[in-house]
A and B are shown apart, each in its own frame.
Chain A
Amino acid sequence: MSLVASGVGLALAHLAPWLTAAPQASPVASPTPSTFGANVIGFSFLLSLIVWAPVLMAVVTAILPQPRTGQTRAYLGIAFWTNAGVVALTIIGYTQFQNYTSGLLFEERLPWLPSLGVTYHLGVDGIGIALLLLNGLVGIAAVLASWDVRERGRTYFALLLVTQAAFSGVVVARDLFVLLLFWAAATVPVVLLVAGWGGARRRALATRLLAYWGVGTAALLAAVLLLYTAAGSTDFDLDTLGKVVPSSRLGTIIGVLIALAAITRLPLVPFHTWARDVLAEAPAGIVVLVAGATSRLGGYVLVRLLAGIEHDISRTLAPYLGALAAVTVIYAVLAALSTTDVRRLAAYLALVPGGLTVLGVAGLTPLSLDGAVLLLFAGGLASALIAGSAATLSERAQARSLGLAAGLAGRMPKLSWLLLVGCFAVLGLPFLATFSSGLMVFLGTFRTQPAAAFAVAAGLVLAAAATARLMHRVVFGAPNPDAPAPVDGSLADSWYLGILVGGLLWVGLLPSGPKLFGITILDPGLVNVVNTTTADLASAYATSPSPSPSPSSTASPPASPTPSPTP
């Protein structure tokens, strides 16, 4: 008994400084707090809780006694409430951001492997909190999408929770070694999920996924080690390594390796075959998780490690990334136009937001980078929505061919409308989150990469043709009398897709948050929160001012639209 008491006392003694510490506020560029309630809550181990609570609950799930076959609701409940808790914690963190604050919040730093210079260093900025929010929303959606998982439910939900924990770990890690560990750790549960529940060709899918993600992980490992060596540092901290300016040749190699890691996971063409197969074959829960969250880590690494710290290399690689983005968007929609499989078509369309994100990174202007980060959030939701709704719809319609799963709007109105919204989200129609983020990407990119921006825009026209084809057949067209009887989505389906639509609509309608008398309430606005970090990150890419107009050239604004030359 006394042993327990002394153990608890020791633990409390260790926890005391954490509990009493205020959130470590960052350097403030401009002291203008504009969000009601910002910086009020002190919670210095918030990030550890967000990362490790799902792991703990995964362990609990794994050691719970096995109920009768097929009764997996208890595991689903654990996964759901864990995710709900994580979302609540993330929202607490999110509301603490205020306009014009740069730097990290909720920082934690503990020495871990001093001999290697590895520190357990966590922290979150505007980019990170947006992705944590995405992870929370996608996590809940993935759990609800797994409502019908009956087979080996315990393992399934435990792996789901571990995947989410790994995602959060990558996002909040400020030490590259820790980031790499979480990055690699995210591979294992996803591969196991695909290998266990990935449909008839699950082994082949899992092998392909492992191969691509393995290459990406190896590339990131090599990049981190090269950066570490180039720095001559004994420290893996992102802040330290971020100040390293390697030679152009080494820098190029590091940049290419980081880009390779990113584009295998996001993914871009020609590294997309795993995504095509997983999104077209796996059950809806895995599809939502992969399309919505884990694949977005590629974009995150691109923003954080390439654009964020390797400025010169980013400039060198930008045209190639722009070209790759254009190729991805155009190729994906051409492939979507040629397939007759509903799920494959949706899987190809789900690649489009990734291409747009990379275009934003390639733009390397403050606005395009802002848009790219926002698109990580919006694109994740859009990809998850279109791939998830196609998976659920084809399952409920008991058909996945465009010929059979046809004319479903009248018989499956809920799922048809949700698929429709997913298509609109991929196209970036207003007032969904992909509109504002896509617009920022385009407006920013036209300054530096006009050719790539035009090419991606042309790809969007083709994407409209592809989505029109999908909707023509599946939603509006004539039903096939030989098709099996379809059943509309269940309540769980409506909820999980509704959460994704809700996220898209909330940020799409109120990107700067709701305001009352000009003061932001409830939500500081995702655009503002993301911008707290990207404004600093992107300052390196802000171009020099153009010559100001000479005083003599003072043409007055035309009062009425009257052009001078006549044809």
Chain B
Amino acid sequence: MSLLATGIALAASAASTASAAAQGFKFDPASTLPWAVPAIVGAPVLGYVLILGSVRTRRAAANVAFLTLLVQLVATLLVAWARFRQPSPYQASYQWINIPVAFTGDQRFQGFGIDLSFQLDHVALAALVAVLVTLLCCAAWHRVAARGEQGPVRFQVNAVLLALGAAGVLVSGDAAELLAFWLLAGLATYLLLGHRWGTEGAGQRSRIALAVPFVGDVALLCGVGLLYSRFGSLTWNNLYPALTTTLGVGQKSLTAAALLLFAAVAVRACIWPFTAWLSGTVDAPAASVAMAAGVWPVLAGSLLLRTLPIVGAAGIQAPRGAAYVLGLAAVAGPALALVGVELRRSVLLATSGAVALTLLGMIYPASTLVAFTGLLAVALARTGALLAATTAAAAMRTVDIRAMGGAWSRMPRTAAALLLASVAVALGGLSGAALRPRSLAWIALGAGLALVSLAIFRVYFAVAHGELRRRRAFEPTRVRDAANVVTGAAVAASVMGLLGAALSFFTGWVGFLAAGRHDVAAVGTLVLWTLLPLAGAAIAGAVVLRQRDAGLELGARLGERLGAIWDLAGSAFDGLLSRPGQRAVDVVEDVGLPAVEQGVGRALAGSGWLAGRRLPWVPAVLGAAIVLAVAFGLLSSQGLGR
């Protein structure tokens, strides 16, 4: 459709660049916008078709996927260069559906259109860079560390699909377009998490990875539907002004829409109590889990940014409800990470608290962009932590943190990546939290910061320090760092995370994201708030380094108890809800409906039998009279005669 136009624009741009080159190098990045912007979404489409259509080998698939992500990143950086000094978003749109559905009635609903629109401001560009770096690190790690993984081509196809969906969500200026790309990214995530076929675990994982997050996806659909039904617009730019100028739309509708959109954010950001779709799928390919864990918080944060004007217009209830949920998740997630000793689950739950903290910070106008930066940092660091943890687990041949240790001496690069990632995760929510000293939210923010730090550093100290013991068929002296590419990917993601966490303290960066006045936390306040993650890290270090066995054993025992409680809850759900429900459906299907059908059939057969017999005339006439009376009553003068 637009390929030709893009091609022409590309040729024109190349020609202008060439003519400029003839007069000396004079490159105007703005001239690349007509093709660089569509390339952000177009490159993965092309990569997807290429890999699916013609690539059959592992290396070729990995190369094409890597190249696709690289092209996306280069296009994003070009756009960022071109728009560096312009705070207003770059906008371009192409019609996908545009129909006049009615010629009368309310003007807002006479037409319907969905645009494939690109809206690239500095926030979207930063998010895109974070997502693409995450995906590139995972792809690089997977290329070397997961050589033996089944379905190499399939994996790369799904990774590229995730890149397409994620890019679409981040650049979309239309709610329906966002929904489409959101679902596409969800589909790719589902296929990535259910990647290892042929085992019961894979089937179970795929089930969790589809059904649980789909709750959030449908909530997004309902939220968008509710907004459209009230305002008649799907374009964010038209929707925001209408929030306060459209008469007849009550706070109730806005609150419902805001909460539905927030539900989508919470489920896909994978914060407690919606962590199951990632924490229950940790034995999927590590790169798949890292991709999902790194990409989705950014997408959820991006949706929350778009939802904030709606949340704001909805009155006090919606933001308050969201804040309570996020506050609870910020505490509960890392608290649960302390329970149990499974490495990747612990990392995921600990970082889910950091994600919730940053999302909580985003709800407050003063700290929205600071917290969003923190969210990008946490997402990147989370990826780095997962990749480093998986590398360590592969080398130490266990995912039980009780049996791990000594990575700092035996696998220094991996341990460094884990340390950097832990620092970034612990500091990710700090800048946003420091701006809320007078709000009641400080309770959740403070407790969350301390717990996140405690939970993530518990993992770090358990893996990096202490003694790596000899086990059956395992020789600790053979443990060594993985290939440079593998550790490099983890380190790169962690360093980028740390950089993001550092950027969130600079007003210059926040000013770059969006022009205007931005609050800064006072140095004293910041120092005071920094004590919380420091305290968390210190406690983790003290417990793991001094009372390693007892501390970790306590976690393991609590984890077992929690597992038992979950099993009990599962049995209760099965016994009280699921099985009775299934039995009721079975009764209706196998007994109820056939009985009704038989009854009707017998009645008809009986009427046929009656027709063949001589009936006693009095009851027959009476019966006929009743039937006729009813019929005439129904079709009385108001009926047939009109």
Point out residues on A near B: beta carbons under 8 Å.
29, 100, 208, 211, 226, 229-230, 246-250, 253, 270, 273, 276, 331, 334-335, 337-338, 365-367, 370, 407, 409-410, 424, 427, 429-431, 435-436, 439-440, 442-443, 445-447, 450, 453-454, 457-458, 460-461, 464-465, 467-469, 471-473, 475-479, 510-512, 514-517, 527-528, 531, 534-536, 538-539, 541-550, 553-567
Complex Cα distance A43/B502, Å? 72
Contact B246 A562 (CB under 8 A): no
Question: Please, could you name 9 A-B residue pairs with CB atoms under 8 Å apart, sorted by A?
Answer: A229-B640, A247-B639, A270-B593, A407-B198, A442-B225, A446-B225, A531-B99, A548-B247, A567-B441
Contacts of B203 in A (CB 8 A): 407, 471-473, 475-478
Contacts of B206 in A (CB 8 A): 468, 471-472, 475-476
Complex Cα distance A460/B222, Å? 11
Contacts of A559 in B (CB 8 A): 514, 516
- What's the minimum C-beta distance from A459 to chain B, rounded to whole angstroms? 9
Known: A366-B101, A567-B324. 15 other contacts (CB 8 A): A247-B640, A273-B594, A410-B197, A429-B183, A439-B176, A443-B234, A461-B211, A468-B207, A542-B109, A546-B248, A553-B244, A554-B245, A562-B309, A563-B311, A564-B365
Contact A560 B514 (CB under 8 A): yes
Given contacts A512-B95, A527-B97, contact A443 B582 (CB under 8 A): no
Q: Which residue of A429, A446, A472, A477 is within 8 Å of B229 (Cβ)?
A: A446
Contacts of B194 in A (CB 8 A): 471, 476
Render B295-332 as a binary contact track against A, CB cut-off 8 A, 1 for contact.
00000000001101101110110011011100000000
Q: Which residue of B202, B365, B635 is within 8 Å of A476 (Cβ)?
A: B202
Asked if B638 is at the interface of the complex by the 8 Å CB criterion, the answer is: yes
Complex Cα distance A175/B206, Å? 51
Complex Cα distance A541/B365, Å? 42
Contacts of A229 in B (CB 8 A): 640
Complex Cα distance A527/B229, Å? 20
Contacts of A247 in B (CB 8 A): 638-640, 642
Given contacts A424-B187, A545-B107, contact A563 B308 (CB under 8 A): yes
Q: Which residue of B112, B204, B305, B316 is within 8 Å of A367 (Cβ)?
A: B112
Q: Which residue of A429, A475, A479 is within 8 Å of B187 (Cβ)?
A: A429
Point out residues on B near A: beta carbons under 8 Å.
1, 4-5, 95-110, 112, 114, 176, 179-181, 183-184, 187, 194, 197-200, 202-208, 210-211, 214-215, 218, 221-222, 224-226, 228-229, 234, 237, 240-241, 244-248, 305-306, 308-309, 311-313, 315-316, 319-320, 322-324, 363-365, 368-369, 439, 441, 514, 516, 581-582, 585-586, 589, 593-594, 596-597, 601, 634-636, 638-640, 642
Q: Which residue of A445, A469, A550, A567 is within 8 Å of B363 (Cβ)?
A: A567
Contact A538 B316 (CB under 8 A): no
Contact A472 B204 (CB under 8 A): yes
Complex Cα distance A292/B229, Å? 31
Contacts of A211 in B (CB 8 A): 597, 601
- What's the minimum C-beta distance from B232 to chain A, rounded to whole angstroms? 9
Given contacts A273-B593, A435-B180, A454-B222, contact A479 B198 (CB under 8 A): yes
- What's the minimum C-beta distance from B44 to chain A, rounded to whole angstroms? 13
Contact A562 B308 (CB under 8 A): yes
Q: Which residue on B lies nearest to A550, using beta carbons?
A: B247
Q: Which residue of B176, B202, B312 is within 8 Å of A563 (Cβ)?
A: B312
Q: Which residue of A366, A454, A562 is within 8 Å of B312 (Cβ)?
A: A562
Complex Cα distance A538/B247, Å? 25
Given contacts A543-B105, A543-B106, contact A565 B312 (CB under 8 A): yes
Complex Cα distance A515/B237, Å? 26
Complex Cα distance A153/B194, Å? 42
Given contacts A367-B112, A563-B308, contact A461 B218 (CB under 8 A): yes
Contact A461 B214 (CB under 8 A): yes
Contacts of A536 in B (CB 8 A): 103
Contact A545 B105 (CB under 8 A): yes
Contact B248 A547 (CB under 8 A): yes
Contacts of A337 in B (CB 8 A): 582, 585
In the A-B complex, the 9 residue pairs with the smallest Cβ-Cβ separation, listed nearest first, are A563-B312, A542-B105, A477-B203, A446-B229, A338-B582, A366-B102, A366-B101, A464-B214, A472-B203
Contact A535 B106 (CB under 8 A): no
Given contacts A250-B635, A446-B229, contact A475 B197 (CB under 8 A): yes
Q: Which residue of B210, B247, B309 is within 8 Å of A464 (Cβ)?
A: B210
Contact A249 B634 (CB under 8 A): yes
Contacts of A454 in B (CB 8 A): 222
- What's the minimum C-beta distance from A434 to chain B, rounded to whole angstroms? 11
Q: Which of A430, A469, A517 has the most CB of B within 10 A?
A: A430
Contacts of A550 in B (CB 8 A): 247
Contacts of A548 in B (CB 8 A): 247
Contacts of A475 in B (CB 8 A): 197, 203, 206
Complex Cα distance A247/B240, Å? 45
Contact B585 A335 (CB under 8 A): yes
Given contacts A453-B222, A539-B104, A558-B309, contact A549 B247 (CB under 8 A): yes
Contacts of A276 in B (CB 8 A): 589
Contacts of B110 in A (CB 8 A): 366, 542
Complex Cα distance A565/B309, Å? 10
Contact A549 B246 (CB under 8 A): yes
Complex Cα distance A55/B437, Å? 80
- What's the minimum C-beta distance from A443 to chain B, rounded to whole angstroms? 5
- What's the minimum C-beta distance from B233 to chain A, rounded to whole angstroms? 11
Q: Which residue of A100, A469, A510 is within 8 Å of B1 (Cβ)?
A: A510
Contact A542 B102 (CB under 8 A): yes
Given contacts A230-B640, A543-B105, A566-B364, contact A472 B313 (CB under 8 A): no
Contact B638 A560 (CB under 8 A): no
- What's the minimum C-beta distance from B200 to chain A, rounded to whole angstroms? 5
Complex Cα distance A442/B225, Å? 6
Given contacts A407-B197, A535-B103, A567-B441, contact A515 B1 (CB under 8 A): yes
Contacts of A367 in B (CB 8 A): 101, 109, 112
Contact A555 B241 (CB under 8 A): yes
- What's the minimum C-beta distance from A352 to chain B, rounded to whole angstroms? 13
Complex Cα distance A100/B100, Å? 8
- What's the minimum C-beta distance from A512 to chain B, rounded to whole angstroms? 6
- What's the minimum C-beta distance from A402 to chain B, rounded to whole angstroms? 11
Q: Which residue on A lies nearest to B228, using beta carbons?
A: A443
Contact A450 B640 (CB under 8 A): no
Contacts of A370 in B (CB 8 A): 99, 101, 112
Contacts of B218 in A (CB 8 A): 457-458, 460-461, 464
Contacts of B197 in A (CB 8 A): 407, 409-410, 475-476
Complex Cα distance A226/B225, Å? 38
Q: Which residue on B lies nearest to A546, using beta carbons?
A: B248
Q: Which of A250, A337, A535, A567 has the most CB of B within 10 A?
A: A567
Contact A563 B309 (CB under 8 A): yes
Q: Which residue on B lies nearest to A560, using beta carbons?
A: B514
Q: Which of B4, B97, B101, B319 has the most CB of A within 10 A?
A: B101
Contacts of A511 in B (CB 8 A): 96-97
Contact B245 A555 (CB under 8 A): yes
Contacts of B99 in A (CB 8 A): 370, 512, 527-528, 531, 535
Complex Cα distance A541/B218, Å? 27
Complex Cα distance A322/B313, Å? 31
Contact A557 B241 (CB under 8 A): yes
Complex Cα distance A408/B72, Å? 35
- What's the minimum C-beta distance from A227 to chain B, rounded to whole angstroms? 11
Given contacts A472-B207, A476-B194, A478-B203, contact A430 B105 (CB under 8 A): no
Contacts of A549 in B (CB 8 A): 245-247
Q: Which of B214, B228, B316 has the most CB of A within 10 A?
A: B214
Complex Cα distance A512/B94, Å? 12
Q: Which residue on A lies nearest to B637, using beta carbons?
A: A247
Contacts of A561 in B (CB 8 A): 305-306, 308-309, 312, 368
Contacts of B112 in A (CB 8 A): 367, 370, 440, 443
Given contacts A335-B589, A366-B101, A461-B218, contact A558 B228 (CB under 8 A): no
